[in-house]
Amino acid sequence: MKFIKHILTGLLTVLLFYISWPPNSLPGFIFIAFVPVLYLIFNFKAEFGKYSNTYLFGLLLVTFFSLNFLLTSWLIHAHWFGGIFASIVNGFLMATVCFWIYKIKLSLGTKQAYFAFPIIWLAFEYLHLNWDLTWPWMSLGNVFSEHTSWVQWYEYTGVLGGSFWVLIVNVLLYFTLNKIRIKEPFTKPIIFCILFLVAPFILSNKTISTTNYLGGDEVTIVIIQPNYEPHNEKFTTPQDIQLQEVETLIQASILKKPDLIVLPETFITDWIWESRLETSPSVLRLKSWLNKTPKTQILTGASTGKVLSDDEASKKTARKSINGTIYEVFNSALLLSVEKPTQVFHKSKLVPGAEMTPFSSILKPIFDKFPVKLGGTIGNFGTNDSLQNFSTYKGDFTPVICYESVFGEYVSSFNSLGSSWICIITNDGWWGDSFGHQQHNSYARLRALENRKYIVRSANTGISSVINPLGMVEQFLPYGESGIIEATISKSHTITFYAKHGDYIGRLASFLAIIYFLLLTMSYLKKIK
């Protein structure tokens, strides 16, 4: 009977997460989503002898694997193993955080466990932004991406501020409900709970009323959504045919002389050596569109390669051709101009397993034998050696390629170089018509808040969109349609508090989590003496 009760408790958390998360987007439920798990942790009794810890961890693992799989199983459309592996690893880490809180409760007391829960969870989310197995897709602050009017203060805290909000309200609510359950006074706890819940809404509404984002110079942009299905169409349709179809699609728009035309990730499917960019047939064909509008520039995705010198041959991302040439491969963005040399940007936040081998010294032999394909390309890709924006006739902008758009601190770091707007290029069609492309577009809205800049987004199969600095979607093309968006955006040179300081919340939480780990270790050592 207790087993069924425990399972139902975990499933309640799964349900609350599921209905909270985009695209279901009822985020109010996230403020109670952890309450069932907290009840399980703080009231669990070790009645299974030496198997009690295994039993509790198993319950937590089933709970968090289930909610991860329900919300991110769309990865299976790209690769079945990758989709399951991501849910297992993330579920395991979430379960580990909660199990750690249980151990802190036993060793350091219930009060310390209450304080430790938000701290250690935030440290886990910060880790997920910065290690080889990076997967911040399920960071709690992402849950508000469809309700940006709730979290305008992300310009100060970033997504981790939203995670802290979720965690602290859950802890306070559980604490209040527990006081009611054991019939103790609960007036103060419920006041604090309401205060922490309501205050961010007030701050957000005030921020909306005082934010003016229309004062900058204007930039005219054409966003293209070609809509080539990636599994069976995108990489089998000849490049010439794709170029001809897109050229026909945007013919009328080019006559209006836009400042920038934006094509999606890997629109150029033909391989290009970077030393021969200016003579590549695909590049020359794209540049030919601009003969009558020389001040218009084109942003496009491509796969590029660069021959490495002898000094660079030892790089982990180096490859060797049949004839012995040592080279490196990149998922790239190109900015094409008639009057200027082509500018190149390399994707630097890579998908673990698909574009880079996590902990390569250990796992490389495994991934070499069983490659994971989550975004169309596989192998160890090279990255940028430093930050760089693209320079246009209308100012500088930040190019962001696909997975990079989930990393708030990374995207914000380009502001220091004078970025005036952000362009995201992606190919979300690998995931099919699932939650994946909806969540990915939705998360981009949070980057607009953190940076107070316009975002233009070109996705091969959708969703392509224009997002203003308040995180509101002004225009979009739905999934599975070909078409264009003609947009006029305002430049912004604002550098927000978050853009200056990045994920300071995560760094502080990581420091405090280490202290809790040391305290727990010391407590354990005292017991075994």
- What residue segments make up the domains of the chain, in order of their start? 2-211+503-528, 218-301+333-491
Q: Residue 325 — very low, low, confident or very high, per pLDDT cuts 50/70/90?
A: confident
pLDDT of residue 235: 86
Q: Is the pTM of this model over 0.75?
A: yes
Q: Looking at 121-135, 177-191, 368-382, which range is the least confident one?
A: 368-382
- φ, ψ dihedrals at 60, nearest 5°: -65, -40
According to CATH, the topology of domain 218-301+333-491 is Nitrilase/N-carbamoyl-D-aminoacid amidohydrolase (3.60.110)
From residue 40, give the alpha-carbon distance in Å to each of 46, 96, 303.
Answer: 12, 14, 49
Q: Which 3 state secondary structure label does DSSP give 218?
A: strand
Average pLDDT, the chain: 91
From residue 50, give the alpha-carbon distance in Å to each of 53, 185, 524.
Answer: 7, 37, 17
Q: Which of 253, 212, 152, 205 is nearest to 497 (CA)?
A: 152
pLDDT above 70 covers a percentage of the chain that reads 96
What angle separates helix 110-127 from helix 159-181, to the nearest 10 degrees? 160
Separation of alpha carbons 138 and 125, rounded Å: 9
For residues 247 and 254, is the Cβ–Cβ distance under 8 A? Answer: no
Question: What DSSP state is assigned to residue 338?
Answer: S
Q: Which of 306, 261, 303, 252 is nearest to 282 (CA)?
A: 303
Separation of alpha carbons 241 and 235, rounded Å: 12
| Number of Cβ atoms within 10 Å of the Cβ of 40 | 21
Burial environment of residue 145 by CB neighbours within 10 A (0 to 12, 13 to 18, 19 or more): buried
Q: Which residue has 């009323």 as its token pair?
A: 209
Q: Which residue has the higher pLDDT, 523 or 491?
A: 491
Express each pLDDT in 150-166 by its tens digit: 999 999 999 999 999 99
Separation of alpha carbons 350 and 329, rounded Å: 12
Residue 362: is its pLDDT beyond 80?
Answer: no
The verdict on whether omega for the bond into residue 358 sits within 30 degrees of 0, i.e. cis, is no
